[in-house]
């Protein structure tokens, strides 16, 4: 048979040869490094026979595929076996690979604690040191069930029982050991190919991810081809921890949370300065793109939420308020708005709209409240009270495409200005449960898709992930250390305008229903500020820094000169402060550096005499002596980069 390698070269091998034979045919080095084989794009074990002409590539640890197979073997063969050795009563559930690592779910009789991980790691190392070969055996459903029922592995039995296949259940063994696990494979040919690993954490997880099922214990780990890669990964985790916005927010005194208002931000002066600056920035952008800013009520009668469908579909996430009947003669049920859309339709509905008025673009920095489940809150990233940079566009179906284009322009400008160079677009298409006819969906999906295509932007399709009222585009930005954050969204809605009777008079003089587009660029100010803090690790761009300049004196004789500088800076609108305290200059520099003040101007006797300043920028240990007037000009130029 003919075996075609990735470089298109062809080798002839006997029918029934396996991946190892092919690797050997190519060279002994490759045979040694081979972990598995990809046959016509499907991963197979090295021992699997190949019976017909095929495209084959040998998988080694140097590919992502190889790394994943190693992680898979590590969890399913090594971690699982180690746990069974130490806790014979533990039950095996599943153990897949995930980004950068793997996990395995177990049911323990007695719960284990995080410091048991070390013990398990040692046991794993012992198993790896045996360098055992891994042996695959194929079993019929009946035999496979027998193996796991005699091993008392109910989760494995349940997986087999639910499987549609009757034969060829793959069971993996290790030489000289009774351990066995059911697995889709492929696995390493032997444990000597395992690289460097570390068990990282312990957490609960539901069997099959369903909260109605039993909670299992999940052990997480990370694994790499060598120590160097493992350490690099562990360092990157540390780096992410250092950037945690909750930690930096505390250090910079930007905001806090407290028990009486879980999930609601208490913004401190400096944090609120950042918030306002970001909002002003957004306001300018929206004006540029012809939005009209509006403002709508926070507390709205349930009648509107019934009409919009939120009362039915979203009530469990809403804060509902009752008026105290003892003090008022009326009984009303209100809800804090979880979204702004129904209110925006109310504004749209005031006065008759003509097709000539469309598109109507309303924007609101809408304060929304959602009762999020208690376990989901996370600093500024997931809160119960937040403000969206929300907007709704009422337009005709024909206008969807041009509105998409305009929105993407607005969004990419905004992200670029805020320092994010890359973002990905995801197009989510019709879900199974949806409203509206297929023709309308066709139109909406095509409009979104062709608009992105015309802009030459790459995008990924997420089938069936759209909102029930329409398809959507999600915008995911990448931060300075490669993490992804979903911020912007653009959703076409054919449902709410109908429910809430939005209309316009068309060219034909008849009434028509407009399409409503829900859109946000930042998502929410709270979350976006969290992303900004983590992206810049607190060192915000000059124009966004809450305190931009500190003038620090070396001796008290120059206090008057420092005040003069502050006065000039303030006159040009720079947010600044002086530090005249009786402290050494290195103490002052340290303090303001740790508060991430972008510029520290140090003045002493020399500076006062020469009317200069010593300028020191955050992130640099260098200082530069500049004429005070020139420094002032420079600082102002820097501040105006965006305006």
Binding site for RNA (CB under 7 A): 111, 113, 201-206, 209-211, 215, 217-218, 246, 250, 257, 259, 262-263, 372-379, 382, 467, 472, 474, 486, 489, 491, 523, 553-557, 582-587, 589-590, 593-594, 600, 602-607, 614, 616, 618-619, 621, 623
Nearest CA-CA partner of 77 in 67, 66, 59, 92: 92
How would you class 374 by CB atoms within 10 Å of its CB: exposed for 0-12, middle for 13-18, buried for 19 or more?
A: exposed
Helix (H) or strand (E) holding 589: helix 585-594
Q: Are 527 and 377 in contact (CB under 8 A)?
A: no
Of 43, 170, 388, 399, which residue is the catalytic one?
A: 388
Shortest distance, position 229 Cβ to RNA, whole Å: 20
**Backbone phi and psi for residue 434, each to the nearest 5 degrees, phi listed first:** -155, 165
Shortest distance, position 492 Cβ to RNA, whole Å: 13
CA–CA gap between residue 151 and residue 157 (Å, rounded): 10
| Interior/surface letters 73-87, b for 16+ CB within 10 angstroms, e for the rest | bbbbbbbbbbbbbeb
Shortest distance, position 110 Cβ to RNA, whole Å: 11
Lateral strand order in the sheet of 2-4: 10-12, 2-4, 54-59, 36-39, 42-44
* 290 assigned to active site: no
Strands of 271-422 (E only): list them. 292-293, 299-301, 320-322, 333-336, 360-369, 385-395
What the block records as the tokens of 109 is 């009789």
Cα 26 to chain centroid distance, Å, stands at 43
Residue nearer to RNA on the CB measure, 64 or 210: 210
Residue nearer to RNA on the CB measure, 165 or 621: 621
Residue nearer to RNA on the CB measure, 28 or 209: 209
What the block records as the tokens of 591 is 């303090």
Residue nearer to RNA on the CB measure, 80 or 467: 467
Strands of 396-502 (E only): list them. 423-428, 459-462, 472-478, 484-493
* Dihedral class, residue 43 (left if φ above 0, else alpha if ψ from -120 to 50, else beta): beta
* 390 assigned to active site: yes
* 72 assigned to active site: no
* 343 assigned to active site: no
Shortest distance, position 603 Cβ to RNA, whole Å: 7
Shortest distance, position 373 Cβ to RNA, whole Å: 3
Residue nearer to RNA on the CB measure, 358 or 603: 603
CA–CA gap between residue 435 and residue 444 (Å, rounded): 13
Residue nearer to RNA on the CB measure, 19 or 546: 546
Of 48, 270, 389, 390, which residue is the catalytic one?
A: 390
* Residue whose pair of structure tokens reads 């060192």 in the numeric block: 539
Q: Within 10 Å of residue 423's Cβ, how many Cβ atoms?
A: 21
From residue 516, alpha-carbon distances to 286, 403, 444, 451, 497 in Å are 18, 11, 11, 17, 7
Residue nearer to RNA on the CB measure, 193 or 337: 337
Residue 464: partners with Cβ closer than 8 Å, 6 or more residues away: 428, 429, 430, 431, 432
* 341 assigned to active site: yes
Residue nearer to RNA on the CB measure, 358 or 626: 626
The 3-state DSSP class for residue 133 equals strand
What the block records as the tokens of 425 is 């677009």
142 half-sphere exposure, CB direction, 13 A CA radius: 0
Of 44, 472, 519, 608, which residue is the catalytic one?
A: 472
Shortest distance, position 103 Cβ to RNA, whole Å: 8
Of 245, 310, 370, 616, which residue is the catalytic one?
A: 370
Of 392, 434, 527, 588, which residue is the catalytic one?
A: 392
CA–CA gap between residue 77 and residue 92 (Å, rounded): 11
Please report, in angstroms and rounded to a whole number, the separation of the first and last CA atoms in the chain.
68
* 486 assigned to active site: no
**Backbone phi and psi for residue 211, each to the nearest 5 degrees, phi listed first:** -70, -10
- Using alpha carbons only, give the angle 133, 137, 139 rounded to the nearest 5 degrees: 160
Radius of gyration from C-alpha coordinates of the chain: 31
159-165 CB contacts, 8 Å cutoff, 24+ apart = 159/94, 165/141
Of 285, 518, 596, 616, which residue is the catalytic one?
A: 518
Omega prior to 186 cis, within 30 of 0: yes
Q: Report which DSSP code applies to 353.
A: -
Q: Are 191 and 74 in contact (CB under 8 A)?
A: no
DSSP string, 536-583: TTT---GGG-SS-EEEEESSGGGHHHHHHHHHHHHHTT--EEEE--SS
Shortest distance, position 559 Cβ to RNA, whole Å: 9
Shortest distance, position 272 Cβ to RNA, whole Å: 18
Residue nearer to RNA on the CB measure, 144 or 599: 599
* Dihedral class, residue 131 (left if φ above 0, else alpha if ψ from -120 to 50, else beta): left
Shortest distance, position 391 Cβ to RNA, whole Å: 14
Shortest distance, position 528 Cβ to RNA, whole Å: 12
* 588 assigned to active site: no
Residue nearer to RNA on the CB measure, 203 or 641: 203
Shortest distance, position 111 Cβ to RNA, whole Å: 5
Shortest distance, position 358 Cβ to RNA, whole Å: 24
Residue nearer to RNA on the CB measure, 398 or 624: 624
Residue nearer to RNA on the CB measure, 49 or 464: 464
Q: Quick one: CA dihedral 532, 533, 539, 545, positive or negative? A: positive
> Catalytic residue positions?
341, 370, 388, 390, 392, 472, 518
């Amino acid at each position: 048979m003919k075996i075609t390698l990735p470089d298109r070269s062809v080798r002839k091998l006997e029918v029934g040869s396996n991946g190892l034979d092919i690797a050997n045919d190519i060279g002994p080095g490759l045979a040694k490094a081979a972990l598995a084989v990809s046959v016509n794009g499907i991963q197979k074990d090295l021992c699997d026979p190949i019976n017909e002409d095929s495209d084959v590539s040998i998988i080694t640890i140097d590919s992502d595929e190889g790394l994943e197979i190693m992680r898979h073997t590590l969890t399913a063969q090594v971690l699982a076996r180690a746990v069974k050795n130490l806790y014979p009563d533990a039950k095996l559930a599943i153990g897949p690979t995930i980004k950068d690592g793997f996990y395995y779910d177990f049911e323990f009789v007695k719960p284990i604690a995080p410091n048991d991980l070390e013990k398990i790691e040692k046991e794993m190392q012992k198993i790896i040191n045996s360098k055992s070969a891994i042996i695959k055996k194929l079993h019929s459903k009946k035999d496979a069930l027998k193996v796991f029922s005699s091993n008392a592995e109910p989760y494995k039995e349940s997986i087999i029982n639910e499987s549609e296949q009757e034969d060829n259940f793959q069971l993996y063994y290790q030489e000289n050991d009774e351990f066995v696990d059911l697995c889709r494979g492929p696995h390493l040919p032997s444990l000597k190919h395992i690289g460097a690993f570390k068990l990282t954490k312990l957490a609960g997880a539901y069997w099959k991810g369903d909260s109605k099922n039993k909670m299992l214990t999940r052990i997480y780990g990370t694994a790499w081809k060598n120590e160097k890669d493992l350490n690099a990964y562990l360092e990157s985790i540390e780096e992410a921890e250092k950037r945690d916005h909750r930690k930096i927010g505390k250090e910079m005194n930007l905001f806090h949370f407290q028990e009486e208002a879980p999930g609601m931000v208490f913004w401190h002066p400096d944090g609120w300065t950042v918030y306002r600056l970001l909002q002003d920035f957004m306001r300018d952008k929206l004006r540029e793109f012809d939005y009209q800013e509006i403002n709508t009520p926070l507390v709205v009668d349930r009648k509107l939420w019934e009409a919009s469908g939120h009362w039915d579909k979203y009530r469990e996430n809403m804060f509902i308020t009752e008026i105290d009947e003892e003090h008022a003669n009326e009984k009303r049920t209100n809800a804090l708005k979880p979204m702004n859309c129904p209110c925006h339709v109310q504004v749209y509905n005031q006065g008759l709209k003509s097709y000539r008025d469309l598109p109507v673009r309303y924007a609101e920095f809408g304060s929304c409240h959602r009762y999020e489940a208690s376990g989901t809150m996370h600093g500024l990233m997931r809160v119960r009270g937040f403000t969206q940079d929300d907007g709704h566009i009422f337009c005709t179906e024909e206008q969807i495409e041009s509105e998409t284009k305009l929105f993407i322009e607005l969004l990419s400008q905004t992200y670029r200005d805020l320092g994010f160079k890359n973002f990905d677009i995801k197009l989510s298409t019709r879900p199974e449960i949806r409203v509206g006819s297929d023709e309308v969906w066709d139109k909406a999906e095509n409009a979104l898709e062709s608009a992105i295509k015309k802009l030459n932007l790459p995008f990924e399709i997420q089938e069936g992930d759209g909102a029930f009222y329409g398809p959507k585009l999600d915008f995911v930005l990448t931060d300075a250390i490669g993490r992804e954050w979903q911020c912007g969204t653009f959703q076409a809605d054919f449902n709410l305008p109908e429910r809430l009777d939005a209309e316009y008079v068309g060219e034909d003089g008849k009434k028509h229903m407009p399409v409503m587009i829900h859109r946000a660029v930042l998502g929410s100010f709270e979350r976006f500020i969290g992303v900004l803090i983590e992206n810049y690790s607190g060192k915000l761009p000059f124009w966004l820094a809450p305190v931009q300049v500190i003038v620090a004196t070396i001796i008290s004789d120059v206090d008057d000169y420092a005040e003069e500088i502050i006065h000039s800076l303030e006159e040009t609108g720079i947010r600044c402060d002086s530090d005249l305290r009786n402290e050494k200059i290195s103490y002052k520099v340290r303090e303001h550096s740790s508060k991430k003040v972008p510029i520290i101007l140090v003045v002493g006797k020399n500076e006062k005499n020469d009317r200069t300043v010593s300028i020191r920028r955050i992130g640099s240990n260098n200082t530069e002596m500049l004429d005070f007037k020139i420094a002032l000009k420079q600082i102002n130029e820097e501040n105006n980069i965006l305006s």
